[in-house]
Amino acid sequence: MTAGDLSRDRAIKEVAAVNKYIRQGVSPTGIPSNTKEPSAIALAAKELGVVKKSLSNRVGRPGRPGTWKRLYDLEPEWGWQSSESEILKPYAIPHEMPPLGTSGASRWELKSDANNRFKFAAFGDFHAASKYSRTDVREDLTRRAEAFGAACIFDTGNWIDGEMSFNRYDIEASGIDAQCRLLAKNYPKTDIPTYAVTGADHEGWYIKREGIDVGRYCESVMREAGHPWTNLGYMEADIKLVNANTEKSCFLRVMHPGGGSSYALSYRPQKILESMEGGEKPAILLLGHYHKIDFGLVRNVWYVQTGCGQDQTPFMRQKAIEAHVGGFLVECEQDPETGAIIEFTPHARRYFNRAYYFAEGRANNRWSGHGPVTQIPRRGNQP
């Protein structure tokens, strides 16, 4: 066997090794936003016992042919798509999505009743596919929204837990499709429409990593499952509140911001509203992300932090971050002459622990990185 034959055999072996990992859904050259995740080339190099840089020079990279391409017209299947990628291809986006609310035009509106009043529910941070997601809480909140006469449910984002290296052992399903379908399975059946923004984190990780409009894809999965679910867009969206008697209006903003929690619950909403210029402030601001139940009035804006539908996670426990499990039912009155919101009544619903953990034998299985966890029982009426 000639040296050329040996070289070609090596080329076939190395290209096949890289292809194996690409077909498993591993990024060929790694994900810039998540350097902890190994690339297909790195995994193949480890398997073959060769230096990663040398292997990369031989097999090449997407758009940059390597030695084996020049010598034998061999290179990995850079354009190969997994079955999930084929499903998601129509939802691909060329770059990270801009917030819908920055466009200056609202695509949505909600009309008051004849008494100039609005009723709606405001929930967020359900984190479906997380071991700590509280399906029972979202179910109870939805039934209460029905009894309340809510016209709609505004979801402030993080409706799935997403997938990163640091939460991979805290989730029950992997991949956009699997997590969205688990959300559809666990989401309460109701005739009340849900309008949901897409967070820049958790579900937003898929946007940044795979370039997929996960909000639009989730909408298709939810509607296929019979849920009246509407995707409002990325990070924030404005809802026009129209008076049924005079057509005067203001707007409500549904927002999933960023950053960490603060010691004072009102600090983050205050800083967010202080960052908004005059003329762009909403009449009502619904905030997710921080997993807090809180409401107030800042710069003439009624704000609500919409709580969460997820128990405290190991990450939150280690960071000493409290989770306020619950949500809101909101009733407000609009001035028919100006469109301003002149009365705002938020009904906060908090779900407290039902008993001491150890008394029910639950303390030792509340968190786990290698198997199921035991959720603590909660109730939504009294501590």
Lowest mean pLDDT among 25-34, 55-64, 101-110, 141-150: 101-110
> What tokens were used for 363?
């303390």
Task: Say whether pLDDT at 363 is over 60.
Answer: no
Q: Judge whether 233 and 215 are in contact, CB under 8 Å.
A: yes
Which band of pLDDT confidence, cut at 50, 70 and 90, is reported for residue 40?
confident
Task: Reduce the DSSP state of residue 286 to 3 states and report it.
Answer: strand
How far is it, in rounded angstroms, from Cα 169 to Cα 242?
46
Q: Which two tokens stand for residue 244?
A: 């049924």
CB atoms within 10 A of CB 361: 9
DSSP lists the bridge partners of residue 348 as 328
Of 83-92, 255-264, 312-321, the poorest mean pLDDT is in 83-92
> In whole angstroms, what is the distance from residue 363 CA to residue 307 CA?
24
Mean pLDDT, all residues of the chain: 86
pLDDT surpassing 70 at residue 2: no
- Arithmetic mean of pLDDT, 319-336: 96
CA–CA dist 158, 168 (Å, integer)? 16
β-bridge partners, 130: 171
Q: CA of 332: how far to CAs of 32, 62, 127, in Å?
A: 45, 55, 28
Among 82-91, 189-198, 239-248, 333-342, which stretch is predicted with the lowest mean pLDDT?
A: 82-91
Instruction: Give the CATH number of domain 87-379; options: 3.30.300.160, 3.60.21.10, 2.60.40.1120, 1.20.1250.20.
Output: 3.60.21.10
Residue 359 pLDDT: 47
* Residue boundaries of the structural domains of the chain: 3-80, 87-379
Predicted confidence (pLDDT) per residue in 51-88, tens digit: 999 999 999 987 788 999 999 889 888 765 555 666 66
Helix, strand, or coil (residue 177):
helix
Q: What is the pLDDT of residue 33?
A: 40
CA distance 271 to 288: 15
Query: Bigger pLDDT: 182 or 80?
Result: 182
Pair of tokens at residue 243: 């008076």
Tokens linked to 292: 């807090």
- pLDDT for 357 equals 47
Residue where the block lists tokens 């762009």 = 280
The pLDDT > 90 percentage for the chain reads 61
Q: What angle do CA 142, 215, 135 make, to 5 degrees?
A: 30
Please report the pLDDT score of residue 62 as a whole number: 79
Digit-coded pLDDT (tens) for 97-123:
555 443 334 458 999 999 999 999 999
Q: Is 240 left (phi over 0), alpha (psi -120 to 50) or beta?
A: beta
* Alpha carbon of residue 276 to chain centroid: 24
Q: Which of 311, 345, 306 is nearest to 328 (CA)?
A: 306
Q: Stretch 189-212: mean pLDDT, rounded?
A: 92
Query: Rounded to whole angstroms, how far apart are CA atoms 345 and 30?
Result: 49
Please give the structure tokens belonging to residue 104: 């200056």
Contact status, residue 155 vs residue 124, Cβ threshold 8 Å: yes
358 Cβ neighbours under 8 A, 6+ residues apart = none
* Confidence band of 364 (pLDDT split at 50, 70, 90): low
pLDDT of residue 82: 54
Q: Which residue has the higher pLDDT, 180 or 376?
A: 180
> Is residue 367's pLDDT more than 80?
no
* Cβ atoms within 10 Å, residue 365: 13
At residue 196, φ and ψ (nearest 5 deg) are -125, 135
- State how far the Cα of 38 lies from the Cα of 86, in Å rounded to an integer: 23
Q: How many CB atoms lie under 10 A from the CB of residue 121?
A: 25
